[in-house]
Amino acid sequence: LSDRFFPYAAIQTDAVLSLDEHTSISTSEVDFAFVVWRSFPERIVGFPTQSHFWDPEQRRWGYTSKWTNEISIVLTAAAFYHRYYHSLFTEYLPMGLRELVDGLAACEDILMNVLVAAVTKLPPIKVT
């Protein structure tokens, strides 16, 4: 899964539109998200969101897709972000984290959000 964030030479634009195969959005939604991303190119800008939280009963982190006004994760199933993050994901993150994501066959979008938030100290932006 982490190969989707490899810094391929064929990606020559600063903006990367990441879409999963089951994502369905209109061209006007893509256009709007791109306009928002151009104003905030250091952030992940996209549609499906989740929020992370600390579960004191289970003593671990969790995440939810419940509809709230506060979000902490924009899923890369439909999101714009800067291509620079491909290089950071591949070259900066410890190999063990990428191997964990690949082994789980999930959570690569969470890892990307954590990476971007760690670098920018900013949350993602949800567009509707």
pLDDT tens column, 83-119: 999 999 999 999 999 999 999 888 898 999 999 999 9
| Assigned token pair, 116 | 């971007």
10 Å Cβ neighbour count for 120? Answer: 15
**Domain-embedded: residue 127:** no
Residue 61: its pLDDT value, please? Answer: 85
pLDDT tens column, 24-73: 999 999 999 999 999 999 999 999 888 888 889 999 888 777 776 778 88
Q: Is the pLDDT of residue 16 over 80?
A: yes
**Domain-embedded: residue 126:** no
**Domain-embedded: residue 72:** yes
| Assigned token pair, 32 | 């709007």
- CB 20 within 8 Å of CB 79: no
**Domain-embedded: residue 107:** yes
Cα separation, 29 vs 22, in Å, equals: 16
CA of residue 107 relative to chain centroid, distance: 10
**Domain-embedded: residue 8:** yes
Q: What residues make up the domain containing 50?
A: 3-121
**How many domains is the chain partitioned into structurally?**
1
Return the CATH number at 66: 3.90.550.10
pLDDT tens column, 94-104: 999 999 999 98
Q: Is the pLDDT of residue 18 over 90?
A: yes
Q: Is the pLDDT of residue 3 over 90?
A: no
**Domain-embedded: residue 36:** yes
Residue 91: its pLDDT value, please? Answer: 93
Residue 107: its pLDDT value, please? Answer: 86
Distances (CA, A) of 121 to 46, 55, 83, 115: 18, 23, 18, 10
* Catalytic residue numbers, as ranges: 109
